[in-house]
Structure 1
C-alpha cells in the first residue's frame, strides 16, 4: 500500500485582484489537507510589459510538469495600450499581444469550457453550460477589407454592393465534424457522470441552416450511443429565456463558441453574479480552471473582491483531479456561507472583505469536520467489514473518492495482523524541563473503550517510546483493536508473542516515562497529509495503516469489497487461460470499485 500520490497544480495568480483572491482561497483550501502540490508561476500583463510575452516560456514548462492549472484573473487591453505599455526597449519590435487565455486554450487543445450554473440559495437548479472553445464564430476568421474569393461570397448582398470590398467586413462561423463530435461526446459523458438525463444543444438551426444541419446530423448519430440521455436542439434565444424563467429544466447545455459565451455569462447572472461563477477548460491532454470574473484593477488592494468564484473553481478542479469528496465539502461550505448572507462581499449585498469571506468558508469546513466526528456512531458491521478487507483495496476505494487516508511511515511490528477500529486519538508533547519525574503519560488507557483503535501522535519522534508490553496487556484486556504510534514502540518481541496489532514509525528501548507528557486525547491529529479524527475508522494490516473518515466509511467498505470482487474475477479468468490484459479489460480493472463488469455475450 502506497500513500495517495500527490497531484501537482500550476498556480498562475494573474493580474489585478487575481493574486489576492488566489491567496485567500488557497489559505482556505489548506483546511482540507489535500494531496496537492501547488507550484506558482507567472502570467499576464506584467509579463507582457516587462518581457513582451504574457505567457513566458518558463510558464509553459511549468504547465508541462503539472497535472492541471489554477488561473487567476487576467487583464487584456486594446491595441494602443498594449504597445504603449511595453518596456521602452521592446516597443517597435513587432511584438503582438495575444490573450493568455487564448494561448492556453489553443496550445493545450482545451476545446470544452465547463460552466456550472447552480442555485446556491435554494437548490432549485443545477445544470452545466458546456461551450465549445476552438471554432464557431470565435474561430478568428474575422476580416475587414475582402479579397476576391471572400468578396465573391458576399458581393450580391445589397449592403456589401453599396460599400465595396474595401469597406466590408466578414466573420465566418467555422463548424467541423471533428469539433462538433468531440464536444458532443464530452457533453454526453458529462451528463452521464453527473446523473443528468437531458442534453440540450443551443443553436439557430432555422437561420444558420447549413452549419446547423451538420450539427443536427452529428447529434442524431452520436445520441444513438447514449440511449439513456434525452436530447433536444433549441433556438439560442429560447434557451436564454428559459434559463431565466425555468432554469431547473436543464441538465447539460451544449453550444458553439459565441452562443456558449453568452449563455454561460447569463448563467452567472442567474446564479447571482460573476462573484459566484467558476469555470474549467478541458481538453484531451490538458486543463486549466479559472473564476469567470475579470481582473478589476480598480479594486486592487481594497479587500472587496468576492473569493467565492475562486473557491468554487477550486472545488471544480478537485473533481477533475479525482478528489470529488473534498471538492463537494468545499462547495457545500461556500453554499452555506452564501445562503446565510452574514459574511458576504458587496456584490451579494454585504460589507465583508475578501479574506473575511474566505475565513468564513474555512470555518464552515472545520465545523463540517467536527460534525462528522460527532455524528452517530458507525454500525459495528461497517467496522467489521473494513476489518476483513485488505488495506490495498480500501486504499483504492479511498482514492476513487478523492480521499487520502494512508498514514505514511507507520510499519507493522506484528506480521499477519489485520484489524480495524474506531480511532481514539492521543497526543504527546516533549517534557519542558529537566526530564525528571514520572509523568503518568499513558494513564489515558483507562478511558479507551472496547472496539477502539488507539492512534498516538508523538510527531513521529523516535527518541523515546510511547508504547510497550504493559500497555499492550492492558489494551488487549479491554478489547482495544490495535495501536498506531506516530512515534516509537518497545518490547516488540513480547507484543508479537501476544499477537497484538501494533504499528509504529520506529522501535527503540529508550523509555518515554520522563521524556514526554500527555497533551490531549480526543482531538484531531495529522500524520503527513492525513487528518485522523476521533470516531474515524482505522484499518491496518501488513501493508500499513490508513484512516477512513466516519462519514464515508460505509461507501468505502462497499467500494473496497467491489475492488476485491473485481480482482478475484480477473484472477479466476486468467487461471482459465485468458490473457491478463483481456481479463482486466473485460472485468473493468480501470474502475474496479464499480465491481466486475458484466461480460458481453461473446466473452
Structure 2
C-alpha cells in the first residue's frame, strides 16, 4: 500500500499531551504513514492574528488526513484582548478553527461512533451522523429582525407584546442538496459498517412542514438501500432510548442542532467524553478529533484520558484503508477500559495519561495479560449465615491455580434482578464469571432466569438436560414434578455441563469476551464440574505463566509504610508484578509474584529494604519459629514475662515438640506505658526484651500502640522474634568461626 501523509495538528490545552501519548501506536502497528506536524489554535491567534496560519492550510492540502488534538475558542472581546499588541489595532475577526475547517473543506458529515467499551450490561454499538452545514447552525440567526422577516412573525402574540426591538429569530435551513448527501452518507455508513437500521431523529409532530420534506428525501434515498430499514422518531424519544436502550439503534442521522445534542449524549452513554472519538468528512477533505475539547484546566497535569485519541486514530486509519489495524486499536481500548487496571481518573483509575496510553499500545502489540475472574454465589441462606460460603473460597483457589486470579466476589440472595446486576459489570471485564447456586426445582431458585437476563437472552428448554433429570430421579425412585422442568431451562446458546452427582446441570457460554459458567450450589456437585471446565473448557485463555512467590512476614512496621517501601522497590526493579499486603495483628505479610529468574534478586532487595522488620519467609508466627529453633538446639528457657502474665511462656511451650533441654537462656520481657496502662488502652507501650546467655546480654526494643488487651499478643510475638533473631545470629557466628 502506498504511504499516506497525516497532518497532525496538536492544538491547545490537553490536545498535545493526548496526541503525544497516543501517536506511538502508529509505529507500534508498523503502518506506512508519515506524520507531519502543523500549528493551529489559540497560540497561533495570539501571535499571528489567525488560528489557522497559511502554512497549516498548505499542510492540510497535501495530506491524506488531518488529525486534530483540540482547539480553544473564546468570545470576540477576550479574543481581541489576548492578541499581540501590534495586531490588536487591526481588530481581525476571530473565527473558530473548527468552523474554518468545516467551511473550507465542506465537511458536511460529523460521525460519532458510540460503543460499549466499558463492558457490563447489554452490548450496544451505534453511531450519530450529524449534518454540519445547515439546519439551525446555518448562520441564519438575527438579533434584530430584518425587514423581510417582520411580516412573517409580526402576528405572533409574543411578538406583539415584545415589539420588533424585543424579538429575535433563527431559521432552520434544510435543502435537497444538504439532505440528500447526509442521508446517503448515513445509509453508506450503515452498509459499510454493519449497522442494521437508519433512524432519522427529527421533530415531525411540531416542525410539520419542514419535517415532511425531510421524510420525502429520506424515502427517496432509502429506496436505493432496500436491505437497510429506516424510521423517523422524535428527537426527544431518541434521546430517551439512547439512554435506556442504546442497543436498539444503528445509525442515527439528524440535522445540525439535534445531531449536536445527541452526539454528546452518546458520549455520556458510553462513559464520558474521554471515550468519544469523532470524524468530519466532506467533499474536499476530512479531519479526525477526540471530542473532549481542549480542557485548559487539565492541561499539563497528566490526567487526560487518551482513549478518545486512540479511537479517533482508529477512525482515521479505517478511512485511510487500514481496517485491520483500526480494529486492533478498538480491541485494545476495549481490553484496557474493561480491565481498568491502567485507566485514568474519569474511569475510576489512577493512571496518568502516559501510563494509560502505554496500556493500550501494549494491548495492540498483544502483550500477554493476566486473566481475571468474578465469582457470584447465590442463596438467602448464605446471607443469613445459615451456611458458610465455602464455594467462593474453593472456587477462588481453583481459579488461582489455573492462573486466573479472582478480581471480585459477590454473595447474593435469591433475587433475579440483584443476581443479574451482580453479573453484568463483569461481562467483558473479567475473562471468567462463575455463578454458583440457585439451580434447584423450587420457586426461589431464580439463577437460571437471572443469568439469561444478564446476558440479554431468552431461556430455552434443553431436552438432553431434562432426560438427565428424569433418569436420575427415576433411578432413585423419586417422584418427578412439573417443577423439575425448570431444571432443563438454560440461556439460549449455552453449552451444557452434565452433573454426575445431582439433577441440576450447569452450563457455560461466551458473552462479550467473558466465559460465564453457571453451576449448582452443593459443593459435592459444583466443585468437580468447575474443575472439569477449568481443565478442559478454557482453551482460549493462555496457560498461566510460571510464577515464584516471594513471601515475608514483618513485625514493627505498619502496612502503609511497608507498602511505600515495597512498591518503590518493585518499580525500581522493573520486574512485572503487583505486591499483595495482608495485615493481621500484629503482622504485615508481603507477597510478591515474579518470574522465577527474578525471584532471588527480588528477595535480596526485599530483605535489604525490610531488614529490621522481617520475622520469617514462611507462613508461621514468631513463636512457631522460636519453638523450632529451641527444639533444634535442645535449649531451655528461664522466662520473666510478668508483662504478659505468662502468655509468652505458655505459647512457646505449646508450640514445642520436645521438653525443654539444657543450656537455658534467661529471657526478661518488660514494658513501659506512656499515656495509658494495662487496663486503660491509650498511648503506647515501649517493649524491651533482654536475653542473657554465655555470650552476654542482648537487648531489643520496640514501641507499639497500646490499642487493647491484644497488646499482650504483640509483646509475646515481639519477645519470640527477638529471641529467635538472637539465636539465629549466634548460630551464624558459630558456623563462621568453625
Residue 211 (structure 2) pairs with residue 212 (structure 1): yes
Residue 59 (structure 2) pairs with residue 84 (structure 1): no
Separation (CA, whole Å) in 1 of partners of 2:262 and 2:229:
21
Separation (CA, whole Å) in 2 of partners of 1:121 and 1:99:
33
Residue 25 (structure 2) pairs with residue 20 (structure 1): no
2:11 aligns to what SS in structure 1? coil
Stretches of structure 2 that go unaligned for 5 or more consecutive residues are 371-738
Aligned to 1:273: 272
1:56 corresponds, among 38, 53, 56, to 53
Distance verdict in 2 for CA 1:370–1:347, change over 3 Å: closer
2:70 aligns to what SS in structure 1? coil
Separation (CA, whole Å) in 2 of partners of 1:221 and 1:249:
24
Separation (CA, whole Å) in 2 of partners of 1:78 and 1:167:
23
State whether residues 140 and 170 of structure 2, in contact with CA within 8 Å, keep that contact through their aligned partners in structure 1: yes
Aligned ranges 1:38-117 → 2 under 5 Å:
38-117=35-114
State whether residues 112 and 133 of structure 1, in contact with CA within 8 Å, keep that contact through their aligned partners in structure 2: yes
Structure 1 residue 28 displacement after superposition: 3.1
Separation (CA, whole Å) in 1 of partners of 2:202 and 2:70:
29
Residue 287 (structure 2) pairs with residue 288 (structure 1): yes
1:267 aligns to what SS in structure 2? helix
Separation (CA, whole Å) in 2 of partners of 1:294 and 1:370:
32
Separation (CA, whole Å) in 1 of partners of 2:209 and 2:164:
25
Residue 259 (structure 2) pairs with residue 260 (structure 1): yes
Largest Rg, 1 or 2: 2
Aligned to 1:351: 350
Aligned to 1:328: 327
2:2 aligns to what SS in structure 1? coil
Alignment root-mean-square deviation, CA: 1.4
1:9 corresponds, among 1, 6, 10, to 6
Structure 1 residue 369 displacement after superposition: 9.3
Structure 1 residue 370 displacement after superposition: 11
Structure 1 residue 148 displacement after superposition: 1.3
Aligned to 1:224: 223
Aligned ranges 1:538-557 → 2 under 5 Å:
none
Aligned to 2:200: 201
Residue 146 (structure 2) pairs with residue 152 (structure 1): no
Separation (CA, whole Å) in 1 of partners of 2:86 and 2:305:
38
State whether residues 147 and 165 of structure 1, in contact with CA within 8 Å, keep that contact through their aligned partners in structure 2: no
Separation (CA, whole Å) in 2 of partners of 1:330 and 1:194:
16
2:73 aligns to what SS in structure 1? coil
State whether residues 29 and 362 of structure 1, in contact with CA within 8 Å, keep that contact through their aligned partners in structure 2: no
Structure 1 residue 197 displacement after superposition: 2.2
Aligned ranges 1:414-425 → 2 under 5 Å:
none
Separation (CA, whole Å) in 1 of partners of 2:23 and 2:189:
27
1:367 aligns to what SS in structure 2? coil
Bigger RCO (CA 8 Å, 6+ sep): 1
Aligned to 2:241: 242
Structure 1 residue 92 displacement after superposition: 3.0
Question: 1:19-43 CA deviation, whole Å, 9 max, x = no partner?
Answer: 1111111123321111101110000
Question: 1:50-82 CA deviation, whole Å, 9 max, x = no partner?
Answer: 111101111111111000100011101122211
Separation (CA, whole Å) in 2 of partners of 1:277 and 1:231:
25
Separation (CA, whole Å) in 2 of partners of 1:159 and 1:328:
54
Question: 1:471-511 CA deviation, whole Å, 9 max, x = no partner?
Answer: xxxxxxxxxxxxxxxxxxxxxxxxxxxxxxxxxxxxxxxxx
Taking structure 2 as the reference length, what is the TM-score of the superposition?
0.49
Residue 126 (structure 2) pairs with residue 127 (structure 1): yes
2:289 aligns to what SS in structure 1? strand
Separation (CA, whole Å) in 2 of partners of 1:188 and 1:267:
19
Aligned ranges 1:290-305 → 2 under 5 Å:
290-305=289-304
Separation (CA, whole Å) in 2 of partners of 1:61 and 1:370:
44
1:148 aligns to what SS in structure 2? coil
State whether residues 243 and 269 of structure 2, in contact with CA within 8 Å, keep that contact through their aligned partners in structure 1: yes
State whether residues 16 and 75 of structure 1, in contact with CA within 8 Å, keep that contact through their aligned partners in structure 2: yes
2:365 aligns to what SS in structure 1? helix
State whether residues 281 and 288 of structure 1, in contact with CA within 8 Å, keep that contact through their aligned partners in structure 2: yes
Structure 1 residue 270 displacement after superposition: 0.3
Separation (CA, whole Å) in 1 of partners of 2:367 and 2:178:
43
Structure 1 residue 368 displacement after superposition: 5.7
Separation (CA, whole Å) in 1 of partners of 2:312 and 2:365:
20
Aligned to 1:497: none
Taking structure 1 as the reference length, what is the TM-score of the superposition?
0.60
Aligned to 2:411: none
Aligned to 2:115: 118
Structure 1 residue 166 displacement after superposition: 2.1
State whether residues 70 and 288 of structure 1, in contact with CA within 8 Å, keep that contact through their aligned partners in structure 2: yes
Separation (CA, whole Å) in 2 of partners of 1:369 and 1:102:
44
Separation (CA, whole Å) in 1 of partners of 2:204 and 2:244:
22
Separation (CA, whole Å) in 2 of partners of 1:52 and 1:362:
38
Structure 1 residue 280 displacement after superposition: 0.1
How many residues in Structure 1 have an aligned counterpart in Structure 2?
368
State whether residues 118 and 271 of structure 2, in contact with CA within 8 Å, keep that contact through their aligned partners in structure 1: no
State whether residues 28 and 359 of structure 1, in contact with CA within 8 Å, keep that contact through their aligned partners in structure 2: no
State whether residues 110 and 281 of structure 2, in contact with CA within 8 Å, keep that contact through their aligned partners in structure 1: yes
Structure 1 residue 112 displacement after superposition: 0.4
State whether residues 80 and 91 of structure 2, in contact with CA within 8 Å, keep that contact through their aligned partners in structure 1: no
1:138 aligns to what SS in structure 2? coil
Separation (CA, whole Å) in 2 of partners of 1:295 and 1:170:
31
Stretches of structure 1 that go unaligned for 5 or more consecutive residues are 372-603
Aligned ranges 1:335-484 → 2 under 5 Å:
335-367=334-366
Separation (CA, whole Å) in 1 of partners of 2:84 and 2:139:
28
